[in-house]
Amino acid sequence: MTVPAHPLVKGFYDERTGSIQYVVACPKTHACAIIDPVLDYDEKSGSTATRHADAILAYIAEQGFTLQWILDTHPHADHFSAASYLKEKTGVPTAIGAEVVKVQALWRKLYNMPGLAGDGSQWDRLFVDGERFAIGEMEVEVIHSPGHTLASITYLIGDAAFIHDTLFMPDSGSARADFPGGSAETLWASIEKILALPDETRLFTGHDYCPDGRAPLWESTVAEQKENNIHLQGMGADFITARKERDATLPFPKLLLHALQVNLNAGALPEPEDDGRRYLKLPLNAFPDVSW
């Protein structure tokens, strides 16, 4: 029986957005990948910074790792991706799930941005379900796991699965599925695929919002999720109904309209205009019926 690889995993927590960024490394070769890096953004002032991305690069250098990939699990709606910045700094290829083209088509219309390339060419690699690639000597399997978005994927690396916005920590439940292109039914099917992995599989989630003021957490196991996740106690149709009811009460993410126009361009900020400044574009009243 082949023992699955046990990758080295380091999480970096962004308190502002509740996001977790990861460095996953091959213990034999010290090759590594960055997963879901955050570009710092202050919505009040419009300022951007690279503190989190630079801290990740410093950690990689300190550990003597060799960066091979910059990976996103999906086009994020709550933070800017630092993929473009990191590629500029390192020359390392970027990648995301191939279904990102469907998300681009949907949001390009909402933003009225016909000039945005809709073929996913902003990334160096678009992964399809079941595709495999390597980080050092570790094989990575791509699992299409939509529901939160059309394009969401899980990276399964040995005994570690990076499950993005599907399941959160057991005391926090699951991700919402009410964004354009989202689906509670599809999210449940994706969760079922994750729960079918071996019980000892380590699950690394994309967000933690520290319920009841506890410290940030981001690692669980399949067994722990099955036993303790507060949204999995009434599985199947009950989960789908409960997820839809909960989503109907949630306010719109404060950075969604800011972030997606950047993240659908692989984290590249808008080009400077004739005054040298970059500008975001926010559609007004595109979602008039959401909870405030």
Residue 202's domain comprises 8-263
Strands (E), the chain: 8-14, 19-25, 31-35, 38-42, 47-49, 66-71, 80-81, 94-97, 125-127, 132-135, 138-144, 153-157, 160-164, 202-205, 219-221
Cβ count near 53 (within 10 Å): 24
Q: What is the CATH number of the domain that holds 192?
A: 3.60.15.10
pLDDT tens digits, one per residue of 100-156: 999 999 999 999 999 999 999 999 999 999 999 999 999 999 999 999 999 999 999
Q: Is residue 279 part of a domain?
A: no
Q: Is residue 57 part of a domain?
A: yes
pLDDT band at 233 (very low <50, low <70, confident <90, very high): confident
Q: Is residue 283 part of a domain?
A: no
Q: Is residue 40 part of a domain?
A: yes
pLDDT tens digits, one per residue of 174-229: 999 998 899 999 999 999 999 999 999 999 999 999 999 999 999 999 999 999 99
pLDDT tens digits, one per residue of 234-275: 666 789 999 999 999 999 889 999 999 999 999 999 999 999
Mean per-residue pLDDT for 1-10? 85
Q: Is residue 269 part of a domain?
A: no
- What total number of domains does the chain contain? 1
Select the more confidently predicted residue: 161 or 3.
161
Q: Residue 45: what pLDDT?
A: 96
Q: Is residue 272 part of a domain?
A: no
Instruction: Reply yes or no on whether the pLDDT at 162 is more than 90.
Output: yes
Instruction: Reply yes or no on whether the pLDDT at 60 is more than 80.
Output: yes
Q: Is residue 232 part of a domain?
A: yes
Q: Is residue 276 part of a domain?
A: no
Q: Residue 273: what pLDDT?
A: 96
